[in-house]
Amino acid sequence: MPSLDEQTCANLAEELWKAECAASPVTPLTERYDGLDQDDSYGIQAAVARIRGDLDTLIAPMVEPEIAIVLRAPLEGPRITPRQVLAAIDFVAPAIEIVDSRLADWKIRWHDTVADNGSSSRFVLADRAYSPHGVDFESMSVTVERNGRVEAAGAMREVLGNPLRSVGWLVAKLSSFGLGLQAGDVVLPGSPCRALRVEPGDRFRADFGAMGAVTLGFVSRGATQALKESR
């Protein structure tokens, strides 16, 4: 089946955007377009990014712990090593990503996720930054508490063996579309553990050990209050 035409991609991007704005999910794209391929999915993602603005509501949020990587220099090209990624980093910080799907009931496959911008929504950073030099990105571990109870844990080596390798993969993928990362970009390379569903009143704390912790409280559906802490 041929790739989707530009107008169809634009229409689907607008549909996903409206779903996010209205907090009303739509039928997964792969149920309607059996031949949806990765180029289609990334094209739709880019189209959504062009029309994305600030949002007031969430549909079915989940949270994941991540180590945020903030760049001081651009990264682009088809082959980027972890060493090159490290050299381009300004600072790193504990983070919690809020993921949210604009597709109904999280019944999604890979292409749905890509088209829907990786289910990205928001993120919160701790209020303290760290130099990336000397950080053991592979063995760094994190535990996630919900309302004081540990519900998830993992080591950063679960993110493609090393989060820096994950960033390199992202740069290579962007390169295939003629894009790259820029100085000042915040990159969330992936979570080492499962995402946790959010209920109103939940309070999550992601503890990264010596690097500190970040806490996020949900005060109501679609409204969040960020409470940051570090050690």
pTM of the model: 0.73
Residues composing the chain: 231
pLDDT given for residue 106 in this prediction: 84
Tokens 């679609």 belong to residue: 222
d(CA 178, CA 217): 38
pLDDT given for residue 131 in this prediction: 96
Strands 141-146 and 149-155: antiparallel
pLDDT given for residue 229 in this prediction: 45
Please state, in angstroms and as integers, the Cα–Cα distance from residue 156 to each residue in 97, 149, 190, following that order.
15, 21, 9
Strands 223-228 and 203-207: unpaired
pLDDT given for residue 196 in this prediction: 96
What is the tens place of the pLDDT at every residue in 146-202? Answer: 999 999 999 999 999 999 999 999 999 999 999 999 999 999 999 999 999 998 889
Higher pLDDT, 79 or 39: 79
pLDDT confidence tier of residue 76, bands split at 50, 70 and 90: very high
Residues in Cβ contact with 199 at an 8 Å cutoff, skipping those fewer than 6 apart: 218
Other beta carbons within 10 Å of 26? 17
Contact 186, 126 (CB under 8 A): no
pLDDT given for residue 56 in this prediction: 47
pLDDT given for residue 55 in this prediction: 39
Which is the CATH superfamily of the domain at 62-228?
A: Fumarylacetoacetase-like, C-terminal domain (3.90.850.10)
* Domain residue spans of the chain: 6-51, 62-228
Q: What mean pLDDT value characterizes the chain?
A: 87
